[in-house]
Every structure is written in structure tokens, then in C-alpha cells.
Chains A and B, each alone.
Chain A
Amino acid sequence: MQNVEKIDVIVVGAGPAGVAAAVTVARGGKTVVMIDRADLAGSKNMFGGAVYLNSIKDLFPITWEEAPYESYISQNRYSFLTESSSVEINHKTLNYPSAATVFRPKFDAWLIEQAKKEGVFYAPKTTVRALLLDDKRVIGVRTDTEELKAKVVILADGAQSNLAQTLKLRKPIKPKDLILGVKETFYLENSKIKERFNLVGNQGMLCEYFGGLSDDEASGYPFAMGFLYTFKNHISLGIGINTEDLIKMKKTPYELLERLKSHPDIIPYLDDARSIEYSAHTIPEGDFYHMPKLYTHGAMLVGDAAGLVNNVHFEGTNYAIYSGILAGETALDAVKADNASKRVLSAYEKRFKKSFMYKDMKSYRNVVSMLRKMSNSIFLKYPKKMDEFFTLFNMVDTIPKATKFRSFALKTGRAVALDVPKIAKTVLEVLK
């Protein structure tokens, strides 16, 4: 970085969290360098995925046409699969959309361009290998080629969160702390996508798949889900699986993806579709109870690096942006006061605790663990029961309906009754 004389703030990582933090600092008139290990912007990043329009607009006030959005999500589908059946709930809305699909390389590159326009210095193809410490204060970073010093360092390096672990802000990451996502992107003509998913204009769809990855009740269904997103001329199909459950299952992630691809409900979607890319990335589990400390002397953690997500609603990029903004504001205060001590940076945590993110992570604190404990019910038992019910309902034969429904109600009632208290308890916590 020969052309930058004195750096106020270094941001490690140029994903949404890093961009949001860096832009906030630049808007406050301070010198900020944003570093990323990728040569082509965003080329290391992968998600489902859709970004949330309010978070993008809060960062850059732009119109739909100005950003490289693909399709807006006008349709959310929830599909419950057994090996040979599916039951679907489809919600379609013509109201103002809240999310849009994007490809991360294109979208991240665009975010970075906006940041550069506002004065952020961007250093691509630069990997931060370690943090520079003076006693316990973070005073800069060491890259492959040089040492850079700054008053504040913001760690936006994503889910692996290596640097936070070296600072002991986070405990060493264990398999249960990360969800592995694998996906395939397919090329499919826009007209076919619209026909197959019942879409018009620039409408798009997200389908979440419950079940269909295993039918082995004895060894337990993994905490895993499938997803399908539509883009202009592409669809993405993937799965997310808790790494600890993957280890227990002794199956490869790609054979699970292949299993989803070969489900009778999905095969017709992929007819004629050409696979053009395969990718993998991790997602933090987003555990409220193990939220890392968000700051130390001279450094703050944002986005995935801090484990800030709400996986129930597929929220990640918005948490990255909003936490980035809060850390950026705190960094500005620290630079102005010429003091990046723990005491000054603790304002970041205070800001975070006032935000919707903290409130949501807190009220959802037991949701994911409940879902994980109930995997067998949610992903195996209920899809089967739904299939049984509709099969009964739609089967026209000579058995009296009362006989059929009575036996179904008896069996199902008992199975569901056991789960109800657990679900009710967690739902009440969310509402509290």
C-alpha cells in the first residue's frame, strides 16, 4: 500500500460486512484500507442466495436497476419430502419484494466498486496471515508481503473466523458450530424458469426442502435442509448440513446433494438444465449462547466472523451489513478520540445489543437447538404423515372414510402430542 500514508482503519475481508464497515469509516472522512484474499472480487464467496433489499438500500441508496440483482423473491415455497412424495406450501405475493437473488462474485464486485467511489482503498489479492500485536493491543496486520499498521482493525473475514480465534475472542471452532453448504448452479433459459415455477417478469422463487436426504430413522435424520433459488437464466440447488451431523452420517456432502437432485419432485425442474458450477462454503450455526466477544483492544468482529446470522430466516448478508455499519461508526469514534482501547470499542457491543440482530438472536436462542433435536420429527416423521394424510384424503376406494381417518388420527395424534410441548415452549420464548 505505497500510496496510502497513514491508515486509520484496516478492514480484513471485502464481503458485505467488510464493505459496510469500510464505507462507514470513509463517510466519516477517515482513511480506510479494505483487504481481501481474492484476486477477482467475491470469487471466494458463495451463498444460497438472496440479499435483503432493505439492508442494501440502507448501505447504498440505489434503485433496483442500478444493482446487479437477478430476480426478486416473490414466491416462497416450503416442500416436505419423503422418498417418493412431496407436500408443498406456496406463498406468492405481488407486494413489494424484500429479497433478490444475486451471484456473489458479481454482486460483491459491485459493492466494492460503490465503496471505492466513496474513498475506500481496496487491496485485492492480499491475504492477512496474522495480526500485529503490541502487548495485547491489535495494531495492524501481516499480509503475505508486508506489515500494515492502523488505529483500528475490523475483522470481517467470514465464517472460518481464523483471526478472531488467534485473538481468543472465539473458542476454537468445532464441527457443530458450522453448517456446510454445497450447491450446484444450473443454466436454464429464462422462459423455461418462468414456466416451471409459475413466474412472470423479474419474479423469482426460493424453495426450502424439508426431508428427502435420508430415511434412516434409527441413525437419526441430520440437521440438514435443501434449497432452490431461481435467477434470470440460472437456478441454484443446494443443501446445508450441520458438520457434526455430516460426520455422524458418514456420507459425503455431494452424495446427499445428488440424492436431492434425483428426487422425483426435483428431476423435472432440472430437465434440460446444464450444471455450470459446484461450490461449497460454511455458515455459522448462529448460536446465541456461544456468541464471541465482539471486540478487544484495537479490533472488532463483524458479520460471519462474529457468527452473526439467523439461519431460521436465511439471514446472513443483512447481519453482515448492519454489524459492519455499527463497527464502522465505533471505529470512527475511536479514531477521532485517538483511542481504540477496549473501553472505547465496547460501544460497538452496546450498539449491537440495541439492534434487531441481538434481539432476534436472543429470542431465537433455543430455536435451532430445538429443531436440531427434533430433526427426526421435522424432516422424517412430519413429511411422512403429510404424505399419509393426503394419500388417504385423495384415495377413492370402498373403505368407509371414518375407518380410514380414525386410524390415521389415532396414530398421528400420539406422535404429534409428544412434540407439541417442546415446540410450544420455544415459540413462547420467541414471542416473549
Chain B
Amino acid sequence: MNDKFNKRIIEDKLSHVKYKTDKDSHIIVDEMVCEKCTTKECLYVCPARVYSEENGKIKVEYENCLECGVCKISCPKKAITWSYPESGYGVVYKYS
């Protein structure tokens, strides 16, 4: 996985997505579990690159979430607590 390339293409794609951003995150990861995780599926399965690694920690940019639900079923350690954003918040599709 070429990370720089990935980062560039997803930033471009996300720049066309509309959101109504909530002030609180609807995604919480269990840092203690993530620290010991060697596979880190969340980093590449997420279609919006919500998860990234920073200083050995999982960073969650919940405001980019497309609400597909794939991360929570893909994390082998069940470390992701994911609930729908507050009613009326989150992604707003128009041409989908």
C-alpha cells in the first residue's frame, strides 16, 4: 500500500463530500487494544481513511466518516465502538 498516493487520492475524493459535522465523535477506539494490534485492518478497509496512525496511536478523523459500518465488522479485536452520529449529523449525500 503506497500511503502517500492513498492519502492524496482520498483527500481529493473527500473534498467533494458534504457533511454536517457533529462536535462529538461517534467512533471510539480502545487505545489499549489497538496498541497490541499487529494487523490494523482499520487503516486500509475504511473507504474514507478515517483511521490513521500517528506516533504509534490510532487517530480517528470521525468527521470524514461515510457511515458504511465496515470498520466495526473488520476490526478483529472488536476495539471499535461505533454508533450512528447524532440525528441529523454526519454525511449528506446528494448524487448517490
Binding site for B on A (CB under 8 A): 37-40, 42-47, 103-105, 125-127, 129, 143-144, 159-160, 173-175, 177-178, 180, 182-185, 234, 236, 243, 246-247, 250-255, 258, 275-282
**Interchain nearest-CB distance for A242 vs B (Å):** 11
CA gap between A127 and B84 in the complex, in Å: 8
Provide the bound-state CA to CA distance between A356 and B64, in Å.
Answer: 40
Q: How far is A243 from B72 in the complex, measured between Cα atoms in Å? A: 12
A39→B68 CA distance, assembly (Å)? 17
B28: CB under 8 A from chain A?
A: no
Please state if B1 and A251 are interface contacts (CB–CB under 8 Å): yes
Beyond A255-B1, A277-B93, A280-B48, is A178–B87 a contact (Cβ under 8 Å)? no
Complexed CA–CA distance, A38 and B14 (Å) = 20
Residues of A contacting B: mostly: mixed
Q: Tell me if A44 and B67 are in contact (CB < 8 A).
A: yes
Stretch at the interface among B2-10, B30-38, B54-62: B2-10
| Contact of A247 with B74 at beta-carbon distance under 8 Å, contacts A254-B13, A275-B16 already known | yes
B17 x A279 contact (CB < 8 A):
yes
- Per-position binary interface string of chain B over residues 61-96, scored 1 when its CB falls under 8 Å from any chain A CB and 0 otherwise: 000001111100110000000011011101111111
Q: Contact: A160 with B69, CB < 8 Å?
A: yes
Question: Pick the contact of B73 from A105, A174, A254 — CB < 8 Å?
Answer: A174
Known contacts A37-B87, A43-B92, A126-B87: does B14 contact A278 (CB below 8 Å)?
A: yes
Do B96 and A104 touch across chains, with their CB atoms under 8 A apart?
yes
**Residues of chain B having any CB pair with chain A under 8 Å:** 1-2, 5-6, 9-10, 12-14, 16-17, 20, 41, 44-49, 66-70, 73-74, 83-84, 86-88, 90-96
Which residues in A have their C-beta under 8 angstroms from that of B87? 37, 39, 125-127, 143-144
| CB contacts between A and B, total, < 8 Å | 129
Q: Which secondary structure dominates chain B's binding surface?
A: loop
CA separation between A310 and B63, bound complex, in Å? 33
Verify B74–A254 contact, CB threshold 8 A. Answer: no
A125: chain B residues at CB < 8 Å are 87-88
Complexed CA–CA distance, A197 and B18 (Å): 30
A40 close to B92 (CB less than 8 A): yes
Cβ of B17 and Cβ of A250 under 8 Å apart? no
Q: Which residues of chain B come closer than 8 Å to A279, judged between CB atoms?
A: 17, 66, 91, 93, 96
**Nearest-Cβ distance from residue A145 to partner chain B, whole angstroms:** 8
For residue A214, give the distance in angstroms from its CB to the closest CB of chain B: 13
Q: Given A43-B92, A105-B94, A279-B96, check contact A252 B86 (CB 8 Å).
A: no
Q: Distance (Å) between the CB of A42 and the closest chain B CB?
A: 8
Given contacts A44-B67, A160-B69, A254-B10, contact A103 B45 (CB under 8 A): no
Nearest residue (CB) in A for B91 is: A44
User: Which 10 pairs across A and B sit closest by C-beta, in order of nearness?
Assistant: A46-B96, A278-B13, A280-B47, A39-B88, A185-B95, A280-B66, A125-B88, A160-B69, A279-B96, A280-B68
Q: What is the CA–CA distance of A41 and B45 in the complex, to the nearest angstrom?
A: 28
Which residue on A lies nearest to B66, using beta carbons? A280
Q: Within 8 Å CB of B92, what residues of A?
A: 39-40, 43
Q: By the criterion CB–CB under 8 Å, are B93 and A105 in contact?
A: yes
